[in-house]
């Protein structure tokens, strides 16, 4: 689907794909940048993804992914460990993350470092990331721009997202978001420029105490896919979803 044609689907799909969601560690963004305001924040997560969605691509060619993580935050500092493993046990990945964050007059800023280990391939990578978001928009919308630099690929991937959260009940939250992704040599063997647009929605349900159920549903559209490039083979239109459990310490 080219960029012009998929724009007409945006409004129609914005409320479609309502699945479980929350801070459920979707595979493409494993870590939340916690700003805890002088208090210690910690939570653990375990979940399942129908596909490994990364930079608009089906990274495991249709295989699902089990993932788990633990995250800690205090004041401006946060960090965590994330582990993902494919359903056929042919792929696993560790991520170790550290970030600094700040909030000023509706703006949130962060800068972070992640060390990635791909044990089965005996490979690793180091990534630097930064982002800014603003939440005092009409209709309680939140807009955010994130950039990730891979030291291995020597390239950057940008994501611009707009989201809205709605509290339906005391223990029930729904969220909607749209994300546009741009590649600049981060996917080294894929095309540069606009890569994908995705719509995501879901629900976060608190079950009891500090225990909650979360999940998400996402449809992603490829932009300017070039089948002659190996890095664009997994860039396509597809739907994926995930579900997980979270415990807040």
pLDDT tops 50 at residue 90: yes
pLDDT at 123: 95
- Give me the residues paired with residue 181 across strands: 159, 196
Mean pLDDT of 63-82: 95
pLDDT digits (tens, 9 = 90+) for 107-144: 999 999 999 999 898 999 999 999 999 999 999 999 99
Structure tokens at 115: 């060390």
Q: Is the Cα dihedral 123, 55, 135, 109 positive or negative? A: positive
Question: Domain residues of the chain, as ranges?
Answer: 3-248
Please name the residues in contact with 5: beta carbons below 8 A apart, sequence gap of 6 or more: none
Mean pLDDT of 187-207: 97
| Fold that domain 3-248 belongs to in CATH | Porin (2.40.160)
pLDDT at 209: 83
- pTM, to two decimals: 0.86
pLDDT at 35: 53
């Amino acid at each position: 689907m080219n960029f012009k044609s998929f724009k007409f689907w945006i409004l129609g799909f914005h409320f479609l794909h309502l699945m479980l969601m929350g801070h459920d560690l979707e595979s493409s963004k494993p870590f939340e940048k916690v700003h805890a305001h002088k208090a210690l924040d910690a939570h653990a997560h375990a979940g399942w993804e129908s596909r490994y969605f990364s930079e608009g691509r089906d990274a495991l060619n249709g295989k699902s992914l089990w993932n788990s993580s633990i995250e800690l935050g205090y004041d401006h500092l946060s960090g965590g460990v994330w582990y993902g493993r494919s359903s056929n046990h042919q792929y696993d990945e560790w991520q170790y993350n550290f970030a600094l964050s700040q909030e000023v007059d509706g703006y949130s800023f962060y800068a972070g470092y992640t060390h990635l280990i791909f044990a089965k391939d005996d490979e690793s990578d180091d990534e630097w990331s930064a982002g800014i978001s603003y939440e005092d928009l009409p209709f309680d919308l939140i807009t955010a721009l994130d950039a990730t630099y891979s030291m291995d690929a020597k390239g950057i991937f940008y994501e611009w997202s707009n989201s809205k959260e709605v509290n339906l009940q005391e223990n029930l939250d729904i969220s909607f978001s749209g994300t546009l992704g741009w590649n600049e040599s981060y996917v080294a063997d894929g095309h540069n420029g606009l890569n994908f647009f995705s719509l995501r929605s879901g629900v976060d349900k608190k079950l009891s105490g500090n225990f909650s159920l979360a999940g998400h549903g996402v449809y992603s559209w490829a932009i300017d896919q070039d089948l002659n490039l190996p890095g664009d083979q997994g860039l396509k239109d597809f739907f994926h979803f995930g579900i997980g459990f979270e415990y807040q310490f």
